[in-house]
Structure 1
Amino acid sequence: MVASECAPVAKAGGLGDVVFGLSRELELRGHAVEIVLPKYAGMRHEDVYGLTIDYHDLWVPWHGTTVHCSVWFGYVHGRKCFFIEPHSGEGFFDRELLYGYPDDVDRFTFFSKAALEYLYKAGKRPDVIHCHDWQTGLVPVLLYEQYGHVMPEQRVCYTIHNFRHQGLTGPHVLWSTQLGRPDDFLDRDRLGDDQEFRAVNLMKGGVVYSNFTTTVSPNHAGEARFGDGGDGLGPTLGTHQVKFGGVLNGVDYDIWNPEIDPFLPARYSAEQLEGKYEAKRRLRERLWMRDTYSPIVAYVGRLDEQKGMHQVHHALFYALERGAQFVLLGDGLHQGINGHFRHLKHYLNDNPDCHLEIGYDEELAHLIYAGADMLVVPSMFEPCGLTPLIAMRYGTIPVVRAVGGMVDTVFDRDFSDRPHWQRNGYTFHQSDNTAIESALERAFGLWFDYPGEFRQLMHNAMRSDYSWARPGQDYVNIYDHIRHK
């Protein structure tokens, strides 16, 4: 694995969870897995065991010269991780945050080059190099164009988690990585962006040069190819359709599992639900909410335009109007949205039926997943959608917009063509207020009027299997396919 994140040591979002969870599943299946990451100054060192220098003097060709790097090794909750630390004036990874800097493209272009140089110099010859998102899109390009003569047997699987960020940059990256030949690489059949003149598209390079490209759900693969889900990459995905597909992400049930969760006041299962009601009581107690006979609706996630925050806002007031309670846990980089919900928090401060927590608290997140009755996810787009998968494990019913991976995982109790025992939530299709109202109204009606049937829906949700077992096998099949090409 070559990636910019791996939970919990370096995590900004779902990518980190995927890299850790998939690596663990592959190891359980008997495969040797090593993860190559940048050595961020702000990474969680407490989650690395036995951190030590693995390779002292790695000299990486860069801008007509070489940059001295050290490579560290350590175990991250059992996963073998190698951390590349460049010693250069740019201080590429000597920073507080993982992303968000003007030179992000240079930082991760260098990391991609350094990762391959390390594999080459250290004599590592994995069957498959699995890289992720635009940050490592240049890995298959460099492997084929520069390292192919010394690493001819290695194959690349490339996974796109978010098409919105594609690593658009100028031709200077071709010179800094010593690829050169801008007239060749800026061709539309290679790295040339389809919309922006003479722009290099790193994600496009990953698609063109990898042996297989995946995205994080089958439905999102279709949205990317045939709709606007690919943000301009649809034609390229069509050209390379024989090596493109969707594999649903999994959830790590060693972390998100009410039967073993250390953050809960009492453990519970689909057969023994009493612990869920204790979690609900404890959640209200912790957030100073009224203890009453009503459902709790929750939102857990980034405060971001992608997440449909206008519908989250509406769901909050609609829930209160219908006699329900509402809990929000989230933060984001969008100042306007953050400011709006901070204002709401102040406005609703004395309301005993809601609580808005602006920020992220891991322990509180676990308690909300367990203590809530419903989770709203009204995303504008959602490649996979891990939060409804986690919620279902805790018996919390997802109320989601039918986009991306949520089409593959949440099946409407009233309208799905699935058997009744497979129906596990509520879905809606439009992005207006009426749409989320209609889904919540059906959920509230079941909770208030037919509690036994709502409890059966909880059972269905908890028995839905979204572990890494199936996607792990899917990836092994892909690896075997590209190894023998």
Structure 2
Amino acid sequence: MRILQVSAEIFPLLKTGGLADIAGALPAALHEAGCDVRVLLPGFPAIVAGLRNPSPVGAFVMPWGEMVEVVYGDLPALARGDMQQGAYVLLAPGLYERPGNPYEDANKQPYGDNHRRFAALGQAAAHLAHGMDSLWRAQLVHSHDWHAGLASAYLKLWADRGATRVPSVFTVHNLAYQGIFGPQYFGDLGLPGEAFHVQGMEFHGQLSFMKAGLFYASHITTVSPTYAREIQTPEQGCGLDGLLMARRDALSGILNAVDDTVWNPASDALLEQNFDARHMAGKAINKAMLQGAMGLAIEPDAPLFAVVSRLTEQKGLPLVLAGLDEIVSRGGQLLVLGSGDTWLEQAFTERAKTHAGRVAVKLGYDESFAHRVFAGSDVTLVPSRFEPCGLTQMYGLKYGSLPLVRRVGGLADTVVDSDLETLEDRTATGFVFDAFDETAYRKAVRRAFALYHRKAEWNRVRQTGMKLAFDWATAAGHYTQLYQRLIQE
């Protein structure tokens, strides 16, 4: 099967969140499953710099008159053995040649022409599916999140109604980010008037790229089974639950996986010392080095809690702030790595000053350091209000940092709470709480301390988590079955 994957970012070339990890790992897994996969990406500077041997494929003009050139090459950073990852990249300097964050300016404000930048991405997908490249034509287009949501609309509403129908899969990574734009921009999209309708991409008088993907895709997937159910409810549906309920027969959840070539403590070159579930001495070395590097007291018996996250309310960071004294007063330590809302950045920074040696903060995104945090910490905190899948808790499990999570979305699908029953049958892998409030969170923290002081049980739970397999072969198998059915239909 010839599959075109469409995304705005891809690891390791460009990453702002978990979307890039999935976009980078899924093509290789699909190749292993027998698919011929190519990726389509905007020509952001980091992506253009990572493209080798680009050659022209074609070009098209957007409604406002801007020419978008499509080139094809390969991405050495995504190569696996003899497999080279082919990539189509859009060259439009006026749209994409901007430093820093691909979506926001230096003041953290979305670029005013984001609707144009990502409309071009969706339209390029439709051109490639309808023969722009005379040497390769996709049988199915798989697009990710709102940035690529218009791909499904352009495919469904392709002007040549006599053309071969090309099915599409649209994956929702986070329904809360919807790509909402004013109706005055509809003319820039080049879609027929029927698309600006409640039975289309219109959303409370606005344009929603997310809704376009949900409405026009042949099939919708989310990144965990529980999240697929949750987004059909008013609480988690972000105003789109009615549409998702109506399309429930074309909606499924496929759990994300972890790329073992990147996230594996036994072979991770970024660690001070490698380790695995049977040989854990290296974890203690990583913990001591991490404590020293971040100005924390080097105390091997102090449980080290870690946050590796965007600093937003969605991720439950206000709960972590409110419960920080619970950790410090019991002799624990807290390390925070991330960036986000200014008030959270400032609050954590102030608490680090107040609790020197017990609390440390490193603001900003640092992929390499994140590996060291998982390897050196004892508990990974992910107390999210909602969480489509979450990769952080999976990384924590693999690196022996027990996840403390809220029972929601993919967190509910991947972490088993440590209680008397699960400790007895040896299925426990972390700590899970239900209500999104300070009381429930603090109780989970206290349970983590209680288990930490029972070393034999702690080590057993940690070992169970490290042995779990969140493998891409399983996820790729689900996707290929879905692709085959849609292509045959």
Q: Report the equivalent of 1:484.
A: 488
The structure-2 alpha-carbon separation of the partners of 1:248 and 1:58, relative to structure 1 and needing over 3 Å to count, comes to same
Q: Report the equivalent of 1:375.
A: 380
TM normalised by structure 2 equals: 0.91
Say yes or no: does 1:284 pair with 2:291.
yes
Say yes or no: does 1:180 pair with 2:184.
no
How much does 1:314 deviate? 2.8
**1:442 partner amino acid:** R
Does the CA-based 8 Å contact 1:143-1:151 persist in structure 2? no
**2:199 partner amino acid:** D
* Structure 2 residue corresponding to 1:353, chosen from 355, 358, 361: 358
Does the CA-based 8 Å contact 1:125-1:154 persist in structure 2? no
The structure-2 alpha-carbon separation of the partners of 1:298 and 1:315, relative to structure 1 and needing over 3 Å to count, comes to farther
Does the CA-based 8 Å contact 2:308-2:370 persist in structure 1? yes
Q: Which runs of 5+ in 1 are unaligned?
A: none
* Structure 1 residue corresponding to 2:132, chosen from 121, 133, 146: 121
Q: Report the equivalent of 2:25.
A: 21
CA offsets per residue over residues 190-231 of structure 1, 9 Å max, x none?
2221xx13x222222212211110111111111100242120
- Give distance in 1, aligned partners of 2:29 and 2:68: 34
Does the CA-based 8 Å contact 1:424-1:461 persist in structure 2? yes
The structure-2 alpha-carbon separation of the partners of 1:68 and 1:141, relative to structure 1 and needing over 3 Å to count, comes to closer
- Give distance in 1, aligned partners of 2:159 and 2:485: 22
Q: Report the equivalent of 1:207.
A: 214
Say yes or no: does 1:298 pair with 2:303.
no
How much does 1:422 deviate? 2.4
Does the CA-based 8 Å contact 1:125-1:151 persist in structure 2? no
- Give distance in 2, aligned partners of 1:121 and 1:295: 57
* Aligned alpha-carbon RMSD (Å): 2.0
The structure-2 alpha-carbon separation of the partners of 1:27 and 1:380, relative to structure 1 and needing over 3 Å to count, comes to same
Q: How does 1:308-319 map to 2 (within 5 A)?
A: 308-319=316-327
Q: Report the equivalent of 2:145.
A: 133
- Give distance in 2, aligned partners of 1:397 and 1:178: 49
- Give distance in 2, aligned partners of 1:23 and 1:43: 16
- Give distance in 1, aligned partners of 2:188 and 2:396: 45
How much does 1:437 deviate? 1.3
Does the CA-based 8 Å contact 2:24-2:78 persist in structure 1? no
How much does 1:56 deviate? 6.0
**2:173 partner amino acid:** H
Q: Report the equivalent of 1:273.
A: 280
Say yes or no: does 1:470 pair with 2:474.
yes
- Give distance in 2, aligned partners of 1:208 and 1:327: 42
Say yes or no: does 1:93 pair with 2:105.
no
Q: Mean alpha-carbon deviation: is it higher for 93-102 or for 383-392?
A: 93-102
- Give distance in 1, aligned partners of 2:139 and 2:423: 39
How much does 1:72 deviate? 4.5
Aligned length: 469
**1:405 partner amino acid:** G
Does the CA-based 8 Å contact 1:60-1:114 persist in structure 2? no
How much does 1:114 deviate? 2.6
What secondary structure, in the 3-state scheme, does the structure 2 residue paired with 1:158 have?
A: strand
* Structure 2 residue corresponding to 1:335, chosen from 333, 342, 366: 342
Q: Report the equivalent of 2:371.
A: 366
Q: Which runs of 5+ in 2 are unaligned?
A: 80-84, 105-110
Does the CA-based 8 Å contact 1:306-1:379 persist in structure 2? yes
CA offsets per residue over residues 82-108 of structure 1, 9 Å max, x none?
211125xxx111112210212212210
TM normalised by structure 1 equals: 0.92
**1:324 partner amino acid:** G
Q: Report the equivalent of 2:233.
A: 226
The structure-2 alpha-carbon separation of the partners of 1:423 and 1:44, relative to structure 1 and needing over 3 Å to count, comes to farther
**2:56 partner amino acid:** Y
- Give distance in 2, aligned partners of 1:60 and 1:311: 49
How much does 1:248 deviate? 1.0
Say yes or no: does 1:52 pair with 2:63.
no
Q: Report the equivalent of 2:108.
A: none
